[in-house]
Amino acid sequence: MRAKQVDLTAQVRTEVGARAARTLRAAGRVPAVVYGRGRQPIPVSVEATAFARALPESAWRSTLISLQLEGLPAQRGKKKDSHPTVIIADVQRHPLRQDPSGILAIDFHQISLQETIKARVRVISIGESPGVKLGGVLEHIMHDVEVECLPTALPDRLEADVSGLNIGDTFRARDLKPISDVKILTHEDDVLLVVAPPAKVVEPEPVPTEVGAVVAETAEPELIGKEEGEQEE
């Protein structure tokens, strides 16, 4: 399936820096920057909830965005481009917060629909692996691959058919089904998935005891303090 295109509104901002970014986040907005196409970077902000609703994390790398820039000043001698098409180049997020308030910053990259781009596209597994049915574990070694294509040909995902994988088998980049007008740049030998053997449960060996042996009472463990001369932190 080809990548979809969504509409998103961004407000051009005049104040930059850490303090301005904190103020934006407190107001429910995310500081962002628009790069590319031979223009100066444009500091903007987007509404956090609207961004999360329009672009779930799984679609960050493979969605075209029609960005409506509000408050863009006119530039002398240049046409005002208030509706650039962009893709997401990077997203910074809080390691613990998964809600929209955890999105800390966004980098948008402006593109042309007539020029090829390079993008990361997620890989999902389809089918049932015989190795998994026997107790193996399907492990994702790489969750996405790099592709090159026109923006209008960008796929939203690539499918890895694991129905032929037994325990110990791997699925490599070359095993992906070709898609017309899309070139996979990730090396063909790179492993994307593997069916690992089931984890072995090691049973503890019983400790032999002699008949009539007296089991000594286990002593309390010694609390080892700081060595002499060691300074407190």
Give the pTM.
0.73
pLDDT above 60: residue 63: yes
Rounded Cα–Cα distance for residues 84 and 81 (Å): 6
Rg, the chain, Cα only: 27
Rounded Cα–Cα distance for residues 78 and 13 (Å): 20
pLDDT reported for residue 60: 86
Which H/E stretch holds residue 54?
helix 48-54
pLDDT reported for residue 170: 97
Sorted by where each starts, the structural domains of the chain and their CATH numbers stand as: 1-111 (2.40.240.10), 113-200 (2.170.120.20)
Per mean pLDDT, which range of 99-103, 150-154, 190-194, 228-232 is the poorest? 228-232
Chain-centroid distance, C-alpha 121: 10
Place of tokens 């948008």: 108
Mean pLDDT, the chain, rounded, equals 85
Rounded Cα–Cα distance for residues 226 and 221 (Å): 16
pLDDT above 90: residue 22: yes
pLDDT above 50: residue 153: yes
Rounded Cα–Cα distance for residues 25 and 31 (Å): 8
